[in-house]
A and B are shown apart, each in its own frame.
Chain A
Amino acid sequence: MSLLQKIKNTVRSRSIHVCYVNTGSCNGCDIEILACLGPRYDLEQYGIYVHNNPREADVLLVTGPICQQWDDKLKSIWDKMPEPKVAVAIGNCPISGCLYDREGSYVNPPASKYIPIAAEIPGCPPCPREIIGAILSLAPEIFRDYEEKNK
């Protein structure tokens, strides 16, 4: 492993930028992500920053059951993110549509139809500690030795 790669690995493990996109969720998962920002769970102590800007994000948190309006927009947000990037589905909605995916509804789950989803956190809504745990366990695995793997 080159020295540059070692430095990159060290730096990246403490600098994960997160963007969240609400594709029509009920806000339950969004306020649990928001609770992660608060002083009790405090995402920033792990080196995770929430900016909500896809152009500088490494991790995309997807909530909601992908309403009709988001069919094309979710892909375009994913394309705006720079490499290396990873998407995490939060809650039951992007995984299966939860209880909205019934006859007559305007939703079109799962999110993995539109973008590659690396991890899924089930729950309606999942606890903040589960969200933090998922991001912390997933992101270093994805970003470690990224340049050497993708030569």
Chain B
Amino acid sequence: MKKTVDVALPVGPMHPCWKEPVRLKCEMKGEHVLACEVELGYAKKGIERIMRGRPWQEVMFLAERICGICTVIHNYVFIETVEEISEITVPERAEYLRVIVNELDRIQSHLLANFSYCYTIEHETLGMYLLSIRETALDQLELITGARITCAYMIPGGVRFDLSGEDAITLQEGLSAIETETMRYRGMFETGPMIGLRSKGVGILTTEDAKIVGAVGPTGRASNVPFDVRSGHPVYQRLGFEPVVYDTCDNWGRIMARFDEVLQSCALIRTCLLKMKPGSIRGGGAIKGGEAVHSGEAPRGELRYYLKTDEHGRVIDISIRTPSIPNIEASGHYMIPGVSSAADVTSSFISCDPCVSCCER
């Protein structure tokens, strides 16, 4: 990729804005970024290789530790794949409890992503507000599952713990706090003049480019690609789910899409609490052999598992496609080249919410 270049600017692998090791090699002409190359490989652990040949009881915990920020969805999709192979049905209450925990995880992940963006554009005040409200979401997660991050809440046939009436009231109060505060911070982000200068029209990913590169999640939806795996999920269809779509195609739209999804997740949890009836939270069933492909909507986009097991439940083959791969590609190929300042490189990269440990596994 050598061109007429003034400066080659490396960013990372250790950088104050990065939470995980990744390196961007930018080619600059003055302050103008001409090209960018993303260098991955600092967090490769070979999880899929470890998974092969192990029983599902072990792989379940390994799958959860692919990514620390979106642990719940990895657990959710892996367990749903196992259930699809073994034809296990889940009680209705457990289905709603799964959605509640998944949406709480999405809330905390989106708030963390928006914190990272605000921190990167040097708006630390708003970032700290968002971290503060994220703790409320983590408290609710701890209340239901017993752990803040790696909770292993879902198991084949249901969930581990029930939600008691008192806890449901605490959850409602927590949701009200999250909603009011998020509305306030969303307003601050929407109208902030300095935030607008740093975000509007920066890191453009047009709809055509998003379709070519296959951008998923809020990154794709902010570029007017109305694709959300939750629209096809039977439980979410019962809840009347509609994806959030923005057509601004820039950093500002991606962050606003995440704010809107936080509010949407709060509404989904409330609907779940209304629709939930008392009953069993754990069904029965036996693990069978077979293979299946299953998708779920992670906070960053579509997460897909291919799983092949033998009749004892041992994993013969597994392949995981995480949403960060197309999003990092979109960021490196389309968002960053063309930004007019070196300071916008980090903010454009963070705006697609890259999760390197997800991406490399």
Q: What is the interface of chain A, defined by CB distance below 8 A to chain B?
A: 21-32, 34-35, 37-40, 51-54, 64-65, 67-70, 73, 77, 98-100, 102-107, 124-125, 127
- Is B68's CB under 8 angstroms from A100's CB? no
Shortest B230–chain A CB gap in Å is 23
The one of B45, B71, B148 in contact with A67, judged by C-beta atoms closer than 8 angstroms, is B45
Given contacts A31-B19, A52-B15, contact A105 B45 (CB under 8 A): yes
- Is A99's CB under 8 angstroms from B61's CB? yes
- Is A24's CB under 8 angstroms from B42's CB? yes
- Is A100's CB under 8 angstroms from B42's CB? no
Cα A107 to Cα B138 with chains together (Å):
30
Cα A40 to Cα B132 with chains together (Å):
6
B296-348 residues at the A interface, CB under 8 angstroms: none
Contacts of A124 in B (CB 8 A): 65, 150
- Is B357's CB under 8 angstroms from A77's CB? no
Contacts of B149 in A (CB 8 A): 28, 31-32, 125
26 A-B pairs whose Cβ atoms sit less than 8 Å apart in the complex: A22-B19, A22-B21, A26-B68, A27-B355, A27-B357, A31-B19, A31-B112, A32-B149, A34-B19, A35-B131, A38-B132, A38-B134, A40-B135, A52-B15, A64-B43, A67-B43, A69-B41, A69-B44, A77-B14, A99-B58, A99-B61, A99-B65, A100-B65, A104-B46, A125-B68, A125-B149
For the A-B complex with A27-B20, A99-B50, A106-B44 known, give 20 more contacts whose Cβ atoms are closer than 8 Å: A22-B43, A24-B42, A24-B357, A25-B68, A26-B357, A28-B65, A28-B69, A28-B71, A31-B69, A34-B19, A35-B134, A40-B135, A65-B45, A67-B43, A69-B21, A70-B21, A70-B42, A77-B14, A124-B150, A125-B150
Contacts of B71 in A (CB 8 A): 28
Nearest A residue (CB) for B16: A52
Contacts of A125 in B (CB 8 A): 68, 148-150
Shortest A98–chain B CB gap in Å is 7
- Is B20's CB under 8 angstroms from A51's CB? no
Contacts of B49 in A (CB 8 A): 104-105
Contacts of A73 in B (CB 8 A): 13
Shortest B287–chain A CB gap in Å is 21
- Is B112's CB under 8 angstroms from A34's CB? yes
Which 5 residue pairs spanning A and B have beta carbons closest together? Answer: A28-B68, A38-B131, A27-B68, A24-B43, A26-B68
Asked whether any CB of chain A lies closer than 8 Å to the CB of B293, the reply is no
The one of A37, A67, A103 in contact with B44, judged by C-beta atoms closer than 8 angstroms, is A67
Nearest A residue (CB) for B64: A26
Size category of the B interface is 35 or more
Number of A-B contacts (CB under 8 A): 119
Shortest A93–chain B CB gap in Å is 9
Asked whether any CB of chain A lies closer than 8 Å to the CB of B229, the reply is no
The one of B20, B47, B52 in contact with A100, judged by C-beta atoms closer than 8 angstroms, is B47
Cα A150 to Cα B357 with chains together (Å):
41
Asked whether any CB of chain A lies closer than 8 Å to the CB of B62, the reply is yes
Cα A26 to Cα B47 with chains together (Å):
11
Asked whether any CB of chain A lies closer than 8 Å to the CB of B169, the reply is no
Cα A70 to Cα B42 with chains together (Å):
7
Cα A69 to Cα B45 with chains together (Å):
10
- Is B67's CB under 8 angstroms from A54's CB? no
Asked whether any CB of chain A lies closer than 8 Å to the CB of B97, the reply is no
The one of A29, A37, A65 in contact with B68, judged by C-beta atoms closer than 8 angstroms, is A29
Contacts of B41 in A (CB 8 A): 69
Nearest B residue (CB) for A73: B13
Given contacts A31-B68, A104-B49, contact A24 B44 (CB under 8 A): yes
Cα A68 to Cα B43 with chains together (Å):
9
- Is A30's CB under 8 angstroms from B19's CB? yes
Contact with A along B7-33 (1 / 0, CB 8 A): 000000111100111000000000000
Shortest B153–chain A CB gap in Å is 15
Cα A22 to Cα B16 with chains together (Å):
12
B128-179 residues at the A interface, CB under 8 angstroms: 128, 131-132, 134-135, 138, 148-150
- Is A30's CB under 8 angstroms from B132's CB? no
The one of A24, A39, A100 in contact with B21, judged by C-beta atoms closer than 8 angstroms, is A24
Cα A26 to Cα B23 with chains together (Å):
17
- Is B128's CB under 8 angstroms from A51's CB? no
